[in-house]
Chain A
Amino acid sequence: MRALGRWLVAGIVLLLGRGRRPARVDRGERIVPPGPPSPGAELVVLALFGATAACALAFIVVYAVESIPHQTQFLGLSLGLAFAFLAAALVVVGNRLVVTEELEEGYPPPAHPSEQESLEQLVAESGDRMTRKRLLLLGGGAAGAALGAALVAPALSLGPAFEIAPFFRTPWRRGVRLVDDRGRPLRADEILEETFYTAYPEGADREQLGAPLVVVRLQPAELHLPAGRDGWAPDGIVAYSKICTHAACAVALYRKPTFPDVEPRPALVCPCHYSTFDPARGGKVLFGPAGRPLPQLPLEVRSGGELRAGGNFSGPVGPSWWGVRNRGAR
């Protein structure tokens, strides 16, 4: 009990008593000017240090005790507050416990003309032994450039940089079956109006721009496909690439009118920049920034009723590039 009492008194004396400045060796002129003490501020700083420590410990406790719910919130709160208290303590130290001097200093000289000159001189004099300086420099430059080019050349292995053909390729060929995301073939009589279906080529990798399709059925009378696409839409079923020709997002929206008298016509819309394509008019752009219509895939229905591709797309799939209109999809 007595020992506890002694410890308590010692703690109080430590906190409330004035610290004695240690005897200082006289070093002559002061560097840092003196300033008035601020025991109140010292207490505040100590309290803030204490709060910092408490919050940091709380962080460790929350981390260790898994049963505490909302772990992320308490971890963030404790660690954040620990830093906040420490920030406050440091600011009080800066404002009250050390001297904030206002010193003057000269800006460094803007330039050093004599050193600049001697540098110039150094370089010039170093080349005194050479009779064909410019030619040597040219030769050295050429050697360096060639070596640099050689060192950079293997970067071309990163990809087939000069082969543009892959951009035109899609996995669709005549006869390839359309399947849904479970791999089940799509049947023409299952494709109903007023909804949309996502389809993939059977047996091909789905994670490529040329693979996914969006399939909708329209009334044949409403179809006004561009020239040369007769037979591309058996019974009004049309298929388009699901990849927007603007910036390669999936055209994942389908708008269909319940009451065509007053509502806008069916359209495929991209959620990224809202390029809107008309499935009845060969994927023509109705709204939004896309510069090319959505490529259409010809469809055919073989005996058995399954939907198959009737060929490749009407144009290259995905976003445009410099040569995009040079060839068709292949």
Chain B
Amino acid sequence: MIRGVVRYLDERSGGAPFLRKALRYVFPDHWSFLLGEVALYAFVVLVGTGIYLTLFFDPSTAPTYYHGRYQPLRGLEMTHAYRSVVDISFKVKAGLLIRQTHHWAADVFVVAIVLHLLRIFFTGAFRKPRDLTYYLGLSMLGLALLEGYLGYSLADDLLSGMGLAIGYSVLMSVPIVGANLAELIWGAPFPGTPAFWSRMYVAHVFLFPILIGTLLAAHLALVAARHHTQFRGRRKTERKVVGVPTFPGQAPRSLGLMCAVAAVLFLLGGLVQINPIWLWGPYHVASGTNGAQPDWYLGWLIGALRLVPSFDVTIGHYTLVPNPFWGGALFPTVVFGFLFAFPWLERRFTGDHAFHNLLDRPRDAPWRTAIGAAAFTWVALIFLAGSADRVFVTFFVSYGWQIWFYRVAIWVVPALVLVLTRRVCVELLGSERVARERKLAEEEARRAAELEPVA
């Protein structure tokens, strides 16, 4: 039977040699190499559940009144978009499961990308010849953040509506062109024209997925073409890669991981509630609620927005830089800029322009690890600052004190982390060197003892 299928395909595509090569392609084996795959499978679940949701969602901002099953919303005015999401949650069978799975998949997708990025960074996998692969990955990260933001904003609930207003304000704060860009995208001053919802919808459902999918295909093709990196070890060199072939070894494990990702996402989708928009109510320009937060992967931005002190940069009547620019626009640009520039910066400062197929352990590159740890700490502290109000409500730590603490800590702590991390790496390397030299000396002594046995 296999013979029949293979013959059919090969006769029509000539693909047997390629398939044979692909099926024996070698995968270096390490658990941390699977993190990118987790992101890939989360994306697959996103597309699958997302397609299902588009069969029910109504991207219209025309007003309507709710007369459905959920009592507290009965008779309230809302948009068709919001109502269709409430109906998916309460009326469509399995609708809430698919909706929640989709949202959990988005959160977990970015978790996986961040973990994967950390692995890539701290093992130096972004070095030549894989810097292009790395740039594609960073682009996908940026797109994923935007895509998630658009997705949860489509529901037009109170929380995401407030988030859209903030996004609009950040765009407006970009010097010179901010207001013009905001008018282009929204079509009019906030809340914009009804066409804005169509734009969000087509971007979220079609444009961004195609973009991410294309970059993903290129990313995977490059990884395969250049072959995956590996850690140094017996038989593993810059010239030879050692690993498990696709078939029969790797395939069941990868498929198993895909099923594991689907399992985690569907279990969460059914058991842990996420984004209960019926509790928040529909968005209105004059409505607000305390404790409104963006999804976790934008938490770094709300932290930044809350930490920046009160000032617009002006010269007389000329407003040069409105306040939200620093935290909402400049900060993420700096972070992504740092990530994009890092391979080039590293090449320039270490003078290392060579190809690398072998990975560093974090300790093998003390400066890179230290700088990466410091940068991560900077972003992480700003991220934590974004939840200071909930920390206050739950743990009674003064909000004002927290803000001041973070304003100082985000500069002091990364500097400490930089120094400490480098120290730790250098010490670890030092102790390994000592152990190696001792082993060599013992070997020498043993051999000498064999040649000239002590009488």
Quote the shortest CB–CB distance from B322 to chain A (angstroms).
4
B286 cross-chain contacts in A, Cβ below 8 A: 181, 198, 200, 206, 211-212, 242, 250
The answer to whether the Cβ of A291 comes within 8 Å of any Cβ in the partner chain is yes
The answer to whether the Cβ of B364 comes within 8 Å of any Cβ in the partner chain is no
Q: Which residues of chain A (40-88) have a CB below 8 Å from chain B?
A: 63, 66, 71-77, 79-84, 86-88
CB–CB B184/A155 < 8 A? yes
B397 cross-chain contacts in A, Cβ below 8 A: none
Contact indicator per residue, chain B 314-345, by CB within 8 Å of chain A (1) or not (0): 10011110111001100000000000000000
Once bound together, how far apart are the Cα atoms of A45 and B451, in whole Å?
Answer: 56
Once bound together, how far apart are the Cα atoms of A110 and B226, in whole Å?
Answer: 8
Partner of A275 from B285, B310, B389 at Cβ < 8 Å: B310
CB–CB A158/B184 < 8 A? yes
B249 cross-chain contacts in A, Cβ below 8 A: 94, 98-101
> Which stretch, A143-151, A162-170, A220-228, A305-313, touches the partner chain B?
A162-170
A206 cross-chain contacts in B, Cβ below 8 A: 284-286
Contact indicator per residue, chain B 288-301, by CB within 8 Å of chain A (1) or not (0): 11111000000000
A218 cross-chain contacts in B, Cβ below 8 A: none
CB < 8 Å A-B pair total: 299
A247 cross-chain contacts in B, Cβ below 8 A: 165-166, 169-170, 305, 324, 328
The answer to whether the Cβ of B191 comes within 8 Å of any Cβ in the partner chain is yes
Quote the shortest CB–CB distance from A61 to chain B (angstroms).
13
CB–CB A63/B93 < 8 A? yes
Partner of A106 from B176, B184, B240, B257 at Cβ < 8 Å: B240
B172 cross-chain contacts in A, Cβ below 8 A: 319-321
CB–CB B227/A164 < 8 A? no
Once bound together, how far apart are the Cα atoms of A319 and B190, in whole Å?
Answer: 10
Number of interface residues of A (CB under 8 A): 91
CB–CB A101/B259 < 8 A? no
A253 cross-chain contacts in B, Cβ below 8 A: 288, 290
**Chain B contact patch, size range:** 35 or more
Quote the shortest CB–CB distance from B122 to chain A (angstroms).
22
Given contacts A80-B266, A94-B249, are A209 and B189 in contact (CB under 8 A)?
A: yes
> Which stretch, A182-190, A231-239, A266-274, touches the partner chain B?
A266-274
> Which stretch, B144-152, B267-275, B419-427, B431-439, touches the partner chain A?
B267-275
Interface centre among A76, A288, A290 (most CB of B within 10 A): A76
Partner of B291 from A107, A271, A273 at Cβ < 8 Å: A271
Chain A interface (Cβ within 8 Å of chain B)? 31-32, 63, 66, 71-77, 79-84, 86-91, 93-95, 98-108, 110, 155-156, 158-164, 166-167, 169, 181, 198, 200, 206-209, 211-212, 242-243, 246-253, 270-275, 285, 287-292, 318-326
Chain B interface (Cβ within 8 Å of chain A)? 24, 26, 29, 93-94, 96-97, 100-101, 129, 162, 165-166, 168-170, 172-173, 175-191, 193, 195, 199, 225-227, 235, 238-245, 248-253, 255-260, 262-271, 284-292, 302, 305-306, 308-312, 314, 317-320, 322-324, 327-328, 355, 357, 389, 399-400
